[in-house]
Amino acid sequence: MNKRSRIGACLGLLLTLGPPLAARAASPAAVVGTEGMVVSESSKASRIGAEVLLAGGNAVDAAVAVHFALAVTYPQAGNLGGGGFMVLRTADGSIEAIDFRETAPATATRDLFIGAGGNPDPVLSRTSHLAVGVPGSVAGMALAHERHGTRTWRELVEPATRLAESGFILDRYIANHLYVYQGRLGQNPEASRIFLRDGDFYQQGDSLHQPELGETLRRIARFGPTEFYTGETADSLIAEMVRGGGIMTSEDLRGYRAKIREPLVGSYHDLTVLTMPPPSSGGIALLQMLHCLEAFPVGRLGAGSSQNCHFLAEVMKRAFADRAEFLGDADFTPVPVEGLLEKSYLDSLCASIDPNWATPNLHAGPGMPRGAQEFYSATGGQTTHFSIVDAEGNAVAVTTTLNTNYGTGIMVRGAGFFLNNEMDDFAAAPGSPNYYGLIQGEANEVRAFARPLSSMTPTIVLRGDELALILGSPGGPKIITSVLQTLVNVVDHEMDIQAAISAPRIHHQWVPDTLRIEPGGMTVDVYQALERRGHALGRSSAMGSVQGIQIVQTPKGRMLLGASDPRRNGHPVGIVRGRLVTR
């Protein structure tokens, strides 16, 4: 191994594992704002969002600008070629969810990802042109803007266009990320040229220019969002599909629609929780887990105690078992949303938790299929979340993704953006694990026009009528458990949002029956106590990357605490007395 590849291996490990617990314990303080706060995984994007607020835009305006900026400065997950979800609450108290999840092309069929040997072929569902769902991001931003925006569309896309055309200085995180993902990026000539400098590699401090992406953004700014779906950009995308043997057509693109959905509304103690309905599994799972936890003295037991870890593991198992069995795109398959959240059902689910012992082989399901363990270990999936609140109290939580890092790794030739591999979030076959090791059933089989089941969990929490928290995370299934634990840390363990985010996390997703622990995230006595209770324990990479805002009501008005996850690369930017404040 030469020196550069040794360094690369270390960087890869660091990107995967995140900083050790000791580093997280020394996590920074939250940024305090009064007139607005934007928290994203890119300093440039957060700043752009805060500048929109400063210029008089509202939280939705800022969200549109941040989303497009992330497509430039956070290429592994920020996107034009992906999708996501927005949960928003306006200052007058109305709530809404915008679903801009990708859809399966019209000719997609149940067996699309079954390979020659009759088994699911992960190459087909992750890195081929067949893996690409019809992108929803541009339509999602357009719908949010049309309903709530106050600034012009052009004005909100413009900062991203400038960043792409003029270039921006790479920070260490992104430079390292590009280096570590050279295998994926190197397979596509466009990606190799733009992001690897054809093998010359970027270093921290270099400027990254993306002229093709700049031109695409300029067209979208000038001709509006439909340009992406019916204009020159659409033509380039379909030409890419034809070149690579994809099945997406011009009609698929033209027919894509983002959808308004009603957020799920649940409660936790005295708080109201607004979160994402199907095709996300995240909201249902989050509300199920919170209901069960309410029955236990979580606060009194203390953060990180073996008893609390036991309760968390048991509620996680149950929610993920239901996810596997019942959840899919409710527009195409019956999903018993109300039943899954009904008090009597949840009470019986929670009653099956033994306070002392792990429940083995939780109810009859597809069990542990061949290969689940192997796939489970591949948990470095990417997505990104940002949270925004403005001076009036409009609040926006957005989680957006290409699915895995850089999606398929396929760039649209000449257009400068990556295509998602969201089709892998469908069940390639009932009971077969996806990239995240998630077992899924027929409710989530590949269907023409359907949206694949997601774990993204953008969430807004209220205390009475007042905003209390805005949060969300990347991390595949760990999104749901990261959001859960952050919320519990604030509510039950009285941590501020930054401490709540920085605290170590655990994760259980039913199959495999292993409770995952972050490196350095648990003391030996807790570890042993959990083993004695019958939990199988395993290590995992750093879990999630929560970007959150806590809203504290003070006699002088709202105080906004912006907090980002030290596991990755978050950047809160607040506004105080008309000035931007950050770390």
Residue 279 C-beta: closest distance to ligand GLY, Å: 9
Closest to ligand GLY by CB, 381 or 572: 381
Q: Could you give the CA distance from residue 41 to residue 43 in angstroms, rounded to a whole number?
A: 7
Q: What angle do CA 333, 338, 339 make, to 5 degrees?
A: 90
Q: How far is the CB of 193 from ligand GLY (least distance, A)?
A: 27
Check residue 140 for interaction with ligand GLY (CB under 6 A): no
Encoded one letter per residue, x for contact with ligand GLY by CB under 6 A and - for no contact, window 424-443 reads -x------------------
- 401 near ligand GLY, judged by CB under 6 A: yes
Q: Which of 473, 452, 476, 475 shows the shortest CA–CA distance to 131?
A: 452
The residues facing 506 across adjacent strands are 517
CA distance 440 to 460: 27
Using CB under 6 A as the binding rule, whether residue 454 contacts ligand GLY is answered as yes
> How many chain residues bind ligand GLY (CB under 6 A)?
9
Nearest CB to ligand GLY, comparing residues 139 and 580: 139
Torsion of CA 47, 162, 228, 123, to 10 degrees: -70
Rg (CA), the chain: 22
Measured from the CB atom, the residue of 188 and 420 that comes closer to ligand GLY is: 420
Residue 560: both structure tokens together: 């906004």
Q: Segment contacting ligand GLY (CB under 6 A): 68-76, 247-255, 290-298, 451-459?
A: 451-459
Among 476, 521, 566, 574, binds ligand GLY (CB under 6 A): 476
Residue pair 367/360 in contact (Cβ under 8 Å)? The answer is no
Maximal CA-CA distance, the chain: 67
Which two tokens mark 304? 């990180």
Q: Which is nearer to ligand GLY, 455 or 502 (CB)?
A: 455
Annotated active-site residue 408? The verdict is no
Dig out the tokens for 235 from the structure. Answer: 């033509």
Nearer to ligand GLY, 208 or 324 (CB): 324
The residue (of 384 and 498) whose beta carbon lies closer to ligand GLY is 384
Q: How far is the CB of 83 from ligand GLY (least distance, A)?
A: 8
Among 248, 411, 456, 561, binds ligand GLY (CB under 6 A): 456
Binding segment toward ligand GLY, per CB under 6 A, in 13-21, 57-65, 296-304, 450-458? 450-458
Quote helix, strand, coil % in the chain, to nearest 5.
40, 20, 40
CB of 12 to ligand GLY, least distance (A): 21
Minimum Å gap between C-beta 480 and ligand GLY is 9
For residues 100 and 548, give the distance between their C-alpha atoms in angstroms, rounded to a whole number.
21
Q: How far is the CB of 350 from ligand GLY (least distance, A)?
A: 25
In whole angstroms, how far apart are CA 286 and each of 64, 76, 144? 26, 26, 24
Does 540 interact with ligand GLY (rule: CB under 6 A)?
no
Packing angle of the helix pair 137-148, 153-166 (nearest 10 deg) = 140
Nearer to ligand GLY by C-beta: 125 or 383? 383
Residue of minimal CB distance from ligand GLY? 454
Residue 497 and residue 33 in contact, taking contact as beta carbons nearer than 8 Å: no
Q: Residue from 79, 128, 384, 455 that binds ligand GLY (CB under 6 A)?
A: 455
Per CB under 6 A, contacts with ligand GLY among 494-523 are none
Q: Are strands 459-463 and 466-471 parallel, antiparallel or unpaired?
A: antiparallel
Q: Per the structure block, which two tokens stand in for 526? A: 């807790």
Query: Beta partners for 548?
Result: 563
Under the criterion CB under 6 A, does residue 306 sit at the interface with ligand GLY?
no
Residue (177 or 493) nearer to ligand GLY, CB: 177
Tell me which stretch binds ligand GLY (CB under 6 A): 102-110, 261-269, 452-460, 513-521: 452-460
Q: Which helix (H) or strand (E) holds 259?
A: strand 259-261
Neighbours of 10 (CB within 10 A): 12
Catalytic option among 161, 216, 379, 383: 383
DSSP, collapsed to helix, strand or coil, labels residue 316 as helix
Considering only 403, 486, 541, 547, the residue that binds ligand GLY (CB under 6 A) is 403
To ligand GLY, the closest distance from the beta carbon of 422 in angstroms equals 6
Give the binding range for ligand GLY (CB under 6 A) out of 118-126, 326-334, 369-377, 454-462: 454-462
Total Cβ atoms within 10 A of residue 142: 21
Q: How far apart are CA 115 and CA 34, in angstroms?
A: 55
Ramachandran bin of 475, using left for φ above 0, alpha for ψ from -120 to 50, beta for the remaining angles: left
User: Which residues are known catalytic residues?
Assistant: 383
Task: Tell me which residues touch ligand GLY (CB under 6 A).
Answer: 383, 401, 403, 422, 425, 454-456, 476
